[in-house]
Amino acid sequence: MAPARMFPLQPQAQGHKVVSLAQLQKRPATGLRLDFGEGSEHVSSTSSTPALPSDELAAQCGQYKNDMAQLFQDHAERLRRALAEVRRRHYRSLLGAAEVAAARRIREKEADVSKAARRGAELEERVALLRAEAASWQAKALADQSTAAALHAQLQQAAAAAQARGKAAEDNAPGAAAEDAESGFVDPDRVVEVTAPPPCRTCRTCRLRPSSVVLLPCRHLCVCDACEPAVSTTITGTAVAVCPACRGAVTGTVQVFLS
């Protein structure tokens, strides 16, 4: 039941009194009768006025408002923490994916670098082999040039000697004719000394034909043109050709034409 409201009344001849609202409702509507004697138990002094219900309601509303504000604040704090945790997990997942991708790229680059290094080493080795081969061919060319120069000098000397012998034979032609004329008379008491012809350089392989091929690098004139193909075939094959005169290794042949 709701508490009764108290309204203060101010009569002309008396002090401040408080009359209950329930007593006013029990009075007939024809007029307002106040019985100060009977309603003395409902009168209270103004010095002890109770607190109004509106103050309690306001206090309760304030308490409810504070509770709701605290609830909203707690909920917002939990939501903020949840969002922060979600963001943190998302960042961690992104970081892990980036690390995996970076590691894969690093491995691929390392494989490419190692492959390039192996390729570079192979190319360097190939270049070194080519340089060594070029140096050997250059040395062989120089040796062949020196050999050719020596053979050319020998051929010039042989040609000069042959020319000198031919000239000497022409100069001795009259004496030879006189000797031929004298040869018609045979003296039975004449003793003629027969000398052997100068030795001819025969082939050391067949022992039949004169030598006409010079073997390199020893420069021995000891093989004929018929036996030279056998020596050349041996040179180009896997076996090592050997000079018949000095038993040295043969790397080339030069054919000589003597007049």
Mean pLDDT across the stretch 67-71?
A: 92
The strands making up 220-223's β-sheet, listed across from edge to edge, are 220-223, 213-216, 252-255
| All structural domains of the chain | 203-259 (3.30.40.10)
Residue 119: pLDDT over 70: yes
Residue 160: pLDDT over 50: yes
pTM: predicted TM-score of the whole model, two decimal places: 0.31
Residue 231: pLDDT over 60: yes
Residue 40: pLDDT over 70: no
Share of the chain above pLDDT 90, in %: 26
**20 vs 171: which has the higher pLDDT:** 171
Residue 148: pLDDT over 70: yes
164: helix, strand or coil: helix
Orientation of helix 173-182 relative to helix 53-171, angle to 10°? 40
Mean pLDDT across the stretch 102-126?
A: 94
Residue 193 vs residues 42, 183, 190, 198, 200: alpha-carbon distances, Å = 198, 15, 10, 15, 21
36, exposed or middle or buried, with CB in 10 Å at 0-12, 13-18, 19+?
A: exposed
DSSP 12: S
User: What tokens appear for 67 in the block?
Assistant: 């509770």
